Amino acid sequence: MMQALLQALMHSTTSMKNKPRLYSILLLGLVFLLASSTIGCGHSRYIYENDAVIVGGDDKPIELINNPDTTNPTYAELVAFLEKDETDQHLYVPHSTYRGNIKMFMPYVCADFAEEVHNNAEEAGIRAGFVSVSFEDGDEGHALNVFETSDKGLVFVDCTGLDFKQQSAIFDDYVKGYLPHSALSCDTVAYIAVGEEYGRIDLDEAGGTSYEYYEWYRGRGLCEWESLGMVIHYRMWWGGGEERGL
């Protein structure tokens, strides 16, 4: 349509000198199309919430790289991917860390973890989603991933790692033989329900994916991950611009 309008406009400049009204209409149409093709259109790989682009710890936009040839995994295939993926081994770094004038660590926060897991999964042929969560108390939200498994439906996954102090303590206990190797992993199944607390269970301990299972697990006093708060809203982004929100 744009090409046809341009051709008509070019023709009008040579053969329609006595038809100023038609020329004006064509010109206005061209301006309208140019404007509509740019205004309100963000970067196709970025994700937006409340008209603002979601950024990582370095204040750069989160960029989701989607693979058109992905498929939904089985739950076993998802677990196998997560066990192989090493995103959870990154340090959680809320802000730049310096030693003297030397920058030791760049910021790396939950959105960065979710971005990397998403892109790694898509590259591996597994369809993945990105999730943002808002909590009742506090301005800080959270980010994680979601997968639509072929046998267990939606599964939320949180691979956000530990900060330097937490990781050092766990690694020290592991070296001393107090903890198994699985304790070094931060891969977890996440549990989200509006009006309920946000939950996480270690991937190798999660016997279910529903929020009802999390309530049962929590009721037995087995939770090792501290809840981030009460969920008031969450939104999911999938490839192709598909969004779902609650």
Do residue 103 and residue 168 come from a single domain? yes
pLDDT per position as a tens digit, 66-93:
999 999 999 999 999 999 999 999 999 8
- Per-residue CA distances from 78 to 65, 88, 107, 204 (Å): 18, 15, 28, 12
DSSP 152-184: TEEEEEE-----HHHHHHHHHHHHTTSS-GGGG
Q: Which domain holds residue 208?
A: 48-245
Do residue 31 and residue 66 come from a single domain? no
Do residue 115 and residue 231 come from a single domain? yes
219 pLDDT above the threshold of 90: yes
102 pLDDT above the threshold of 70: no
pTM, whole model, 2 decimals? 0.76
- Is 82 inside a domain boundary? yes
pLDDT per position as a tens digit, 175-193:
555 445 455 789 999 999 9
Average pLDDT over residues 114-124: 98
94 HSE (CA, 13 A, CB side): 5
- Is 146 inside a domain boundary? yes
Give me the amino acid identity at 117.
V
- Is 41 inside a domain boundary? no
Do residue 112 and residue 221 come from a single domain? yes
Do residue 188 and residue 236 come from a single domain? yes
Average pLDDT over residues 127-132: 97
Candidates 167, 132, 154, 160; CA nearest to 210 is 154
CB 40 within 8 A of CB 226: no
Do residue 21 and residue 133 come from a single domain? no
Do residue 8 and residue 79 come from a single domain? no
| Total domain count, the chain | 2
Give the DSSP H/E element, type plus range, for residue 236: strand 231-237
- Is 43 inside a domain boundary? no
Q: Give the Cα separation of 191 and 37 in Å (integer).
A: 39
Q: Give the Cα separation of 131 and 214 in Å (integer).
A: 19
Do residue 187 and residue 94 come from a single domain? yes
Do residue 150 and residue 52 come from a single domain? yes
- Is 42 inside a domain boundary? no
Do residue 103 and residue 26 come from a single domain? no
Q: Give the Cα separation of 229 and 221 in Å (integer).
A: 17
Do residue 177 and residue 57 come from a single domain? yes
